Amino acid sequence: MTAVLFDFSGTLFRVESTESWLRGTLAEARRDLPEDELLEAARALEEMGALPGGAPPSWLPEEVASVWGARDTSEELHRAAYTGLSRQVPLPDERLHDLLYDRHMTPAAWAPYPDAGEVLRALRDRGVGVAVVSNIGWDLRPVFRTHGLDPYIDAYVLSFEHGVQKPDRRLFTVACEALGADPRDVVMVGDSRRADGGAAVLGCTVHFVDHLPTTERPDALLPVLDLVG
């Protein structure tokens, strides 16, 4: 194998919990909520799937359903989809919905999986090209820079920058071309069998990991090193 493609959320990084997300946003906005109200709001936000990278929505309101399927093709649709979900939950200040969305794009909201750095460094040492291929509506590069992992990434292929989403083969093609790799010599690593599994159409080997909290998934990326050889 000459190259590895990685998904972002649930693969290399995990977003903070919904409760942490809400607490952090309230602190940044200098707003307080009684503890019972905060916990209830966090529960409702999680049920709505309002945190990008978190749990999926339990249902889609009509105004969100119309953009949900294409949410990762542009910054505008991504924000509209997730703030639309958030606004189903009453909060003490309407501005908090946009502030919540803004927070999830900050490096502080994300933590790398324990073995991410080790695996990325080992791939660099072996001369294996690495690209991040993500369905996303914002620029995740600052997250990698802040956590010290950007030096190990050769290319970023982000859906909103290309106007298409995985499993569309075009995103995987762009990534392979950016690395100068034959898809048959590439491993795609991700947590979504539908989205990331699209790489198999090109002939890529696909390796799946579970989308779990970082404390529950310490070494799921290490088998990638065996696949590369």
pLDDT (tens, 9 = 90+) of the chain, 229 residues, equals 999 999 999 999 999 999 999 999 999 999 999 999 999 999 999 999 999 999 999 999 999 999 999 999 999 999 999 999 999 999 999 999 999 999 999 999 999 999 999 999 999 999 999 999 999 999 999 999 999 999 999 999 999 999 999 999 999 999 999 999 999 999 999 999 999 999 999 999 999 999 999 999 999 999 999 999 8
Q: What are phi and psi of 78, to 5 degrees?
A: -65, -50
Residue 67: closest CA among 140, 165, 192: 165
Q: What is the rounded CA–CA span in Å between residue 43 and residue 40?
A: 5
For the chain, helix (H) and strand (E) counts, in that order, are 10, 7
C-alpha distance from residue 176 to each of 2, 24, 73, 157, 159 (Å): 10, 38, 20, 10, 15
Look at the alpha carbons of 214, 216, 217, 218 in this order and tell me if their dihedral is positive or negative. positive
For the record, the structure tokens of 108 come out as 């502080």
**Radius of gyration for the chain, computed over Cα atoms and rounded to the nearest angstrom:** 18
Q: What are phi and psi of 127, to 5 degrees?
A: 75, 25
